[in-house]
Chains A and B, each alone.
Chain A
Amino acid sequence: MKHFSLSLIFTFLLILHLQARGQDQCFECHKNAEDNPSKLFDHDIHHQKGITCAGCHGGNSQTDDMEQAMNKKAGFIGRPQGDDISRVCASCHGSQEKMKYFGSSLPTNQWKNLQTSIHAKPALKGKEQIVQCTTCHNAHGIVSVKNPSSPVYPLNVVKTCARCHADVAFMRSYNPSLPVDQLEKYRTSVHGMRNGKGDPKTAQCASCHGSHNIRAVKDVKSNVYFSNLPGTCAKCHSNTAYMKEYKIPTDQYEKYAKSVHGIAVLQKHDPGAPACNNCHGNHGAMPPGIESISKVCGTCHALNAELFASSPHKKAFEERKLPECETCHSNHEIVAATDKLLGTAPEAVCSRCHSAVQNPNGYLAAKVMRGLIDTMENREEYAKELVDEADQKGMDISDAKFKLRDIRQARLQSRTMVHAFNEAKFEEVVDNGLKTADFVISESQSSIHEYFFRRIGLAVSTIIITILALALYAFVRRLERKKNEVNK
């Protein structure tokens, strides 16, 4: 069986070779007729590799007798329809042996990938998939992807994709919710502008979405799925050699991976956390301008942004052209904000601008605010310890336990309120937290006190009751002894 299969493959390759080397009568006649397919096929890479019309359409291209050439018994299939188009392509492009025969090192999994992609969904007719090989690569006149005239050449691919993706009526029939302005946005992006100027290295549709294996954004296997996206961007942006000519840093991914956002996306797979596109945009990707950073951060951190906008820092930052959130929190390497950021210690960001001599008011305010937040944290810790102690002693401390959340809430609120840079407002929030902490501490202490009171009370009452019981018993025994003595 194995020998039979090998001999079949060999025979097939031999025929193919002979066809390739011999005269392509189909092409000759069609060329004479000056029809469009033959015109395009003239400079088609397949034609150049010696593949005849029969390679895709079947039949016998060695004869000029049309009946013989297009005889179905000779394998003529005419114009392939539906998925047969891609199957015809895959008959060679899916075979490593055949591709090797023609001296190609192209991968051979395109058809397989296409079948698992979003484009493999059934077309409106329902009998075939939406996209065939020819949809993007054309049928006749196919050239290498490196050829600038190829529709899938990096500078052309955006237009090729946009043929469908910018067609409102077409896209509506498949996915009405999918935007159709990707190309428009792309042209406003740094990638799009460079691509428009003829730079084939900048990212285009296929760079991020893939080519044959394009999947829906919500598909976890998609290159642009939220947790895969930073890696996709990093393929170029972390490649020092590739990015050399653009003169921009290449450590964004490294920093982002360490950031609070990066940990949430890459390690915790939290879809609510931002990936690259949430701050930079996706099709219209561009670094946010200084003035728009707080707006970008504010899409998620709305309250912080609002408080900052009404704070005295707003004007000061604008005057000094300081990026609002980034100045204190950095950009790609945003670490979880701790109380250490606040105050006048060397690691506190306030001290970068506020010094005791040059800006005593700000310096003092930062010092006071840090002191208050530290006090609240200490009180919260103490309250927690007492609640745990009371809990371990088996006391019902549910009210205090519940109130612990309120202290934490107040602490979180105070962290947010920092962005107002207003001591009075900050104190108000901290005061609420401290009052709640005092309540929890007092309740827990009462419970712990009650615990000991119960045990002492039990010991005292047990002693009294036992003495009473023994006294009664002794009394009865005395009565009985007396009676016995009387009887005697």
Chain B
Amino acid sequence: MKTFLKKMYDWVDERVELKGLVDYMGKKYVPVHRHSVWYYFGGVSLFLFIIQVVTGILLLLYYKSGEELAFESIHFIMSKVQFGWLIRSIHSWTANLFILSAMIHMFSVYFEKSYRKPREITWMTGMLMFFLLLGFGFSGYLLPWNELAFFATKVGTDIAGVVPVVGKPLMIFLRGGDDVTGATLSRFFGFHVAVLPGIFTVFLGIHLLLVQRQGMSEPLHWKEDPEQKTMPFFPNFLLRDISLWLLVLNLLAILAVFFPWELGKKADAFAPAPAGIKPEWYFLYMFQTLKFIPGKLWILDGEVLGIGLFGAAGVLWTLVPFWDLKSARGEQNRLANYLGLFAVIYIIILTIIGWLA
């Protein structure tokens, strides 16, 4: 068996010079310290992305976009297609775990200050991918064309419409008209399976290339560490990462079997909105904040103010490598830490309030 594998490796190596790549990867080291565990979430996010691509392609074989077909086709996938229920459930659960994993990855990178020079571009491509991920979630949520998705999209696009100047045209662009209709479904489908994956893959490519090129970031206290323990990226770190991927795969399978993703009722534009319409959990803290802000605040519209604040926070967060100069100098930046901590606590509390509301 070993000889066969060696022969196979040699056969490929002879043609594509695999040795160079393996040697390069073997020379790459991952710092080992008490926060090393957070390094794995980048890999987990990548694994979840791969699952999304694979299950998404499988769903595409049967999914039919359109007001009259979308719901029925998902129902068909779940009830008639062999393992259709599993693929759909895994796709839906992975979407959620992907966002959760990406959030953990983002916050761990933030608190480790891994965005410092020379990794500004890596951080920014990661942030852009995170925004695209939210776009994936928002557009994918509508695709089954069920009641909850229909009204959540209505509310979501309504909020986008509040943005001054560009809001209204943006809302019409997203909806493909004044209301959420079959046209909205068609373009959300287009965004979900073509536009967003295309852009995402470009950013992912750059992100991974930079990670490989620059290696794993060392924490601020690394230089003071007398041991400076490391492990080879290949095969040690990669195999450990793969072990974790397998456990995540287990988790997904358990979730899909014991908590299959429900389809709900088909969307009906003429039906009254069901009570307690809420967005997906990753938008909940923003939604809840907008609910808390009074309708009119001094001369400003409450909703516009809320969206403005979130927009500004997003920009500030994305540009952190450029304003956190202290970390760039290798010093502790307590303000950045407190801001990050505030963001985490705020998101958790508001999400819980929104969930219970």
- For B253, the chain A residues whose CB sits under 8 A away are 458, 461-462, 465
State whether B79 touches A399 (Cβ < 8 A).
yes
B240 contacts the other chain (CB 8 A): yes
A18 contacts the other chain (CB 8 A): no
- For A475, the chain B residues whose CB sits under 8 A away are 239
Question: How far, in Å, is A343 (CB) from chain B's closest CB?
Answer: 40
Contact with A along B50-84 (1 / 0, CB 8 A): 00000000000000000000000001001100000
State whether B236 touches A398 (Cβ < 8 A).
no
Give the size range of B's interface with the partner: 20 to 34
State whether A469 touches B79 (Cβ < 8 A).
no
Known A394-B260, A398-B75, A469-B247: A476·B239 in contact at CB below 8 Å? yes
State whether A396 touches B235 (Cβ < 8 A).
no
Complex CA gap A455/B167 in Å reads 48
Instruction: Choose one: A454, A462, A476; the contact of B240 (CB below 8 Å).
Output: A476
Interface contacts beyond A465-B247, A469-B242, A472-B239: sample of 7 additional A-B pairs, CB < 8 Å, sorted by A? A396-B75, A398-B75, A454-B86, A458-B257, A462-B253, A469-B250, A476-B235
State whether B236 touches A469 (Cβ < 8 A).
no
Question: How far, in Å, is B349 (CB) from chain A's closest CB?
Answer: 33
B313 contacts the other chain (CB 8 A): no
Known A394-B260, A398-B75, A469-B243: A462·B250 in contact at CB below 8 Å? yes
- For B257, the chain A residues whose CB sits under 8 A away are 454-455, 457-458
Question: How far, in Å, is B219 (CB) from chain A's closest CB?
Answer: 21
- For A394, the chain B residues whose CB sits under 8 A away are 260
Complex CA gap A480/B239 in Å reads 12
Complex CA gap A480/B79 in Å reads 48
Complex CA gap A87/B231 in Å reads 111
A10 contacts the other chain (CB 8 A): no
Instruction: Choose one: A457, A461, A470, A472; the contact of B242 (CB below 8 Å).
Output: A472
* Segment 449-488 of A: residues with Cβ below 8 Å from B: 454-455, 457-458, 461-462, 465-466, 468-470, 472-473, 475-476, 479-480
State whether B254 touches A462 (Cβ < 8 A).
yes
* 9 contacting pairs across A/B (C-beta < 8 A): A394-B260, A396-B263, A454-B257, A465-B246, A472-B246, A476-B235, A476-B236, A479-B235, A480-B236
State whether B79 touches A473 (Cβ < 8 A).
no
B249 contacts the other chain (CB 8 A): yes
Complex CA gap A28/B246 in Å reads 121
B85 contacts the other chain (CB 8 A): yes
State whether B246 touches A466 (Cβ < 8 A).
yes
Contact with A along B238-273 (1 / 0, CB 8 A): 011011101101100110010010010000000000
- Point out which of A457, A465, A469, A475 has the most chain B C-beta atoms below 10 A from its C-beta: A469
- Point out which of B85, B86, B242, B250 has the most chain A C-beta atoms below 10 A from its C-beta: B250
- For B236, the chain A residues whose CB sits under 8 A away are 476, 479-480
- For A457, the chain B residues whose CB sits under 8 A away are 257
Complex CA gap A479/B243 in Å reads 15
Complex CA gap A408/B240 in Å reads 59
State whether B78 touches A468 (Cβ < 8 A).
no
Known A458-B254, A466-B246: A396·B240 in contact at CB below 8 Å? no
